[in-house]
Amino acid sequence: MKATLYYRGSLSSCNYDCPYCPFSKNKDSAATLAKDRRQVETFTDWAESQGAEGHRLSVFFNPYGEGLTHRWYKEAMVRLSHMEHVDKVAIQTNLSAGLAWTGELNPKKTAFWVTYHPGQTTEEKFLEQVLQLYRRGIPFSVGSVGVKSAFGRLESLRRSLPSDVYMWVNAFKDKRDYYTDEDRTFLRSLDPLFDLNAEDYESLGRACGTGFDVFYVQGPGIVKRCYKDRRVIGHLYRDGLDALSQPRPCGMDCCDCYIGYIHMPDLQLRKRYGDGLLERIAGAGSQRRMPRVYEEGVESCDAHA
């Protein structure tokens, strides 16, 4: 099987203190960090064993907090990037930690999803980190939440980034009708695929790769179909991928997050992102033209409002 695994352990703390993020308020105990380390190491050992089972894996670490301030996430990424049967290992990160260790990675199998937090770091420091990845030839995307107070800083970052670096903008959805037409035009100038993320997709009963060849793994090995769908479908280490895999239509009314809706085949988003789908790196073709949000009969949740 060719499978994608999203992994999230017990870590629930971050070195940033963004006011909108609950994990910035947490400070994990030594016991919690030790448990998280054991879980990451167990998962990495399991992934290594899957070559003998004939599986090919792509792994995405998306912890509740910042993983790269902890040595075991770096070690796991290095190990995974050198496994023959692992096609890709990626991580969601604020990129604040030191990056000397990235020289040990296999850059052909590694990618970073980098989030910019304007209130937590300066553009100069952030760019210095980003350009280290760029010089090492490690693929990455850069993005931020499109809150209006950050528009100026996002525009400045887009001007400062190399032109071939894709910058995404997450739509701010906490307030209905938050954006004016002028706001949307501005955000499209930063991210030509902004409209794709601005929608909440009607998903109930629709086909999705989650639970079939995409799995959301929690630290102890518990597997869920999707990170928002709380149904447990099995245990990674007890059941294995073949036993876990079943076609599972979406049980949620809407899908509103990138790591969920990209696995809805009706949206055909691999055409937009190509091999960069997991880490959200849009292909060159995607950046040259505006996307059509509704494709293949897929409607937004607000389509009938």
Phi/psi-derived region of residue 111, left when phi > 0, alpha when psi is between -120 and 50, beta in every other case: beta
- What are the residue boundaries of the structural domains of the chain, listed by start? 2-288
Please enumerate in sequence order all residues whose Cβ is within 8 A of that of 228, keeping only pairs 6 or more positions apart, or say none: 252, 255, 257, 260
Please enumerate in sequence order all residues whose Cβ is within 8 A of that of 43, keeping only pairs 6 or more positions apart, or say none: 7, 9, 76, 217, 219, 221, 236
pLDDT at 128: 95
293, 300 contact by CB (below 8 A) = yes
CA torsion, ordered 106, 270, 259, 243, to nearest 10 deg: -80
Residue-wise pLDDT tens digits, 60-101 = 999 988 989 999 999 999 999 999 999 999 999 999 999 999
Query: Taking Cα atoms as reference points, which of 148, 129, 125 lies closest to residue 138?
Result: 129
Residue-wise pLDDT tens digits, 277-288 = 999 999 743 333
pLDDT at 12: 75
DSSP-based three-state secondary structure for 233: strand
By DSSP bridging, strand 214-218 and strand 201-202 are unpaired
By DSSP bridging, strand 222-224 and strand 214-218 are antiparallel
Could you confirm whether domain 2-288 is CATH 3.20.20?
yes
Which regions in the chain score pLDDT beneath 70? Answer: 13-26, 28, 284-305
pLDDT at 18: 60
pLDDT at 284: 41
Cα 246 from Cα 123, distance rounded (Å): 45
pLDDT at 144: 95
The alpha carbon of residue 19 and the mean position of all alpha carbons in its chain are separated, in whole angstroms, by 21
**DSSP percent split of the chain into helix, strand, coil, nearest 5:** 35, 20, 45
Q: Which amino acid is at 159?
A: R
